[in-house]
A and B are shown apart, each in its own frame.
Chain A
Amino acid sequence: MKTLVNINDRKKAKILKISGGHRIRQHLQCLGIHIGDIVTIKKSSFLGGPVLLEINGCDVALGKGIASKIEVEELE
């Protein structure tokens, strides 16, 4: 199963599942990240650092811990 961590820069992905607790889910929802949304990976920093996503026109940085909890499907 692919998570956000496995997607290369400048690729699009569709969110399939968000595992993790109630709080994390809620926090992500607040920032406009929902199941079924399509995100673009803008860049990932090195050494297991965070990833920078674009979602609905906003940029959001997610730490590696969280990014690895978001299961996605890579689009073309």
Chain B
Amino acid sequence: MKIAFLGQPNAGKSTIFNGLAGYKTITANFPGQTVNYTISKVRLGDEIFEIVDLPGIYSLTALDKAEIETRNFILSGRADVVINIIDASTLSRSLELTLQIAELQVPMVICLNMIDEAKRKGLDINSEKLSKIFGVPVIETIANKGIGLDKIFISAKEAYFNQLIPKIQSFHKDIENYISEIEKIIPGNFIPKVPRRYLAIKLLEGDRELFEEIKIYNDLQNKVHKIREEIKISHGSPADTVISSERHALTMNIFEEVTKIGEPTKTLREKIDDILTNKYLGYPFLIFILFMIFFMVFEIGKIIEEPIISIFDSFIQKLPQYLSPESFSFFIVKGLLEGFSGGLGVAIPYLIPFFIGLTILEDIGYLPRMAFLMDTIMHRIGLHGKSVLPFIVSYGCNVPGVMATRILESPRDRFITAALSVFVPCAARTTVIFGLVGAYIGGVATAALYFFNILIIMILGAIFTKFIPEITPGLIMEIPPLRIPTFKNMLMKTWLRLKDFMLVAWPLLVISSVILSCLEYLQLDIFLNKIFSPLVSWLLGLPEKSGITLIFGILRKELSMIMLFQAFDTTNLSTVMTKIQMIIFTIFIIFYIPCIGTIGALIKELGTKKTILIIIISIFIALILSSIARLILSLL
């Protein structure tokens, strides 16, 4: 049996899914977290259930990429049962989606999640009444505490075996007449598995995707246009507004029938929320919170990093005692050790605290509040508040950062945000900044580099906006209530994210390290360095030997620095590079070509052409910035 979870963003679909399937997807307290759907098999006794976690959608009218994906899945008829997950505290709005799902005539279960939060808001919901109205099971859950989850499979089975198809809720008579008029003339072979009524309503609403598809049916197209015009004249507003008002009226009726509204309990949460989004106090808090996260990441990271690195270092130094330094196996073992220590010692110590910090911010629900605070500033670079989220995530890793651009509605915003996100120094580049500039030059220079980076990103944003003008409507975003993160969820999310790194990036790191070692053994590195020497030595004024490390930085950015040690065969880089060279090297690393993983994510989100464009832009920017930096620094 295939069970699809469907609901509005931030209703808790992923939390429920994780509660049932073990941790497979990442949850967060901001709308639109799930961008891909995840399928998982759950065994319960002798039965196997396939459960599908779909991206949250506000309606079945496709607006953004996530909505199209969800809709296509449902329309393809692959779900046996739909579980409509509702954030009970926003019942009146959520029911609008429920009405639309009901039109699809698939067995359904309504799941009122976060019932505790609804109570806090003073909503007393009568689930039995709701169940009678739709003719489907209604269950109550508090997913983050695991309450009520056991009822999900039971009611899913009940809905499936008794074929509990939701009852259609009728609009006003005149609208119903229009709907049946269109229903009658939709050809039988047009999206065959979907009820005609659903298609008729979506056509009346002016659904763009469906409009494209009915172009080949002239009669139907003309009829739809005619009726839409008629509605506009008789009701005084566009047909889509009329349908949505009808639906709104229906939901309000149902809402009032099933809910008793009492007084909300004023809590400490609202007071905290008030300060966090305060016109004046909000900003110092924002800076303080971000500063604390970064401070924590580097302090904790350093404590873990040093002992691990020293263990590996002593291993590598003792290596010539066991293997002849001239032999091929020596180079292989050395490469392996260096690759392992790079991942274990340099990346993971910083990634763990960063992921924990990010998880806490996400689960509390601080990120949407940040988007609210940053909207004005983001408008200066032609974007709006929501783009802040991909940027923040990018400080950890550009890959999820690029993927997070899916929450933006317009392709233009997605492109600009993704293009700018790749310039955000991720944890890997941060290790370069700290390991090189931080360790050899000092804290002030490090902070200055971060500041410089933000400045350049803002300038680039302004330039992009010149070329692709802003046509986007701006910020439209739900601000979910603040929530207290659960410890278990925090650990599981951190682990999931870390697992991604260990399975994808770490092996790459080890392999590249071994390849570099082999190149060294074959003395090909000298040859490669010669090829790149015009760029590296002439233009950037860096030592010729650093050329090869820049190439390997494309695989993983921190490789560049780790390999500097290897290429120069030293543990103290200040003996081989000047401070100016270190700064130029770091600036180049920050801005040039995104790493392989990020390139993959870019291709997936934006397509190959735009990805190549971003790569070319990044090379140019890296070259220009590091040349300018060389010029200015040499004058000082």
A contacts, CB < 8 Å to B: 18, 20-32, 34-36, 43-50, 52, 56-66
Contact = CB atoms under 8 A, between A and B. Distances in A.
A49 B384 CA distance: 10
Contact of A31 (B93, B278, B282, B409): B93
A56 B244 CA distance: 16
Secondary structure of the A contact surface, majority rule: mixed
Nearest to B385: A50
A34 B63 CA distance: 17
24 contacts: A20-B473, A25-B240, A26-B61, A27-B409, A29-B96, A29-B241, A29-B244, A29-B248, A30-B63, A31-B58, A34-B248, A35-B241, A35-B245, A45-B372, A46-B376, A50-B375, A56-B90, A57-B90, A57-B92, A57-B123, A59-B479, A60-B479, A61-B371, A61-B475
Given A26-B61, A28-B476, A50-B376, 13 more contacts: A26-B59, A30-B61, A30-B96, A34-B245, A34-B248, A45-B375, A50-B372, A50-B475, A58-B90, A61-B475, A63-B375, A63-B473, A65-B473
Given A20-B473, A63-B384, A30 B277 contact: no
Task: Tell which of A23, A44, A61 has the most Cβ of chain B within 10 Å.
Answer: A61
Contacts of B478: 31, 58-61
A52 B277 contact: yes
A66 B92 contact: no
B632 to A, nearest CB: 32
B230 to A, nearest CB: 18
Interface of B: 58-59, 61, 63, 89-90, 92-93, 96, 121, 123, 206, 237-238, 240-241, 244-245, 248, 277-280, 282, 368, 371-373, 375-376, 379, 384-385, 409, 473-481
A30 to B, nearest CB: 3
Contacts of A58: 90, 93, 478
Contacts of A44: 279
A53 to B, nearest CB: 9
Nearest to B481: A59
Nearest to A59: B479
A63 B385 contact: yes
Nearest to B473: A24
Contacts of B58: 27, 30-31
B416 to A, nearest CB: 16
Contacts of A32: 90, 92-93, 96, 248
B240 A49 contact: no
Residue of A18, A48, A59, A66 ringed by the most chain B CB atoms within 10 A: A59
A26 B63 contact: yes
Interface centre among B61, B278, B409, B473, by most A CB within 10 Å? B473
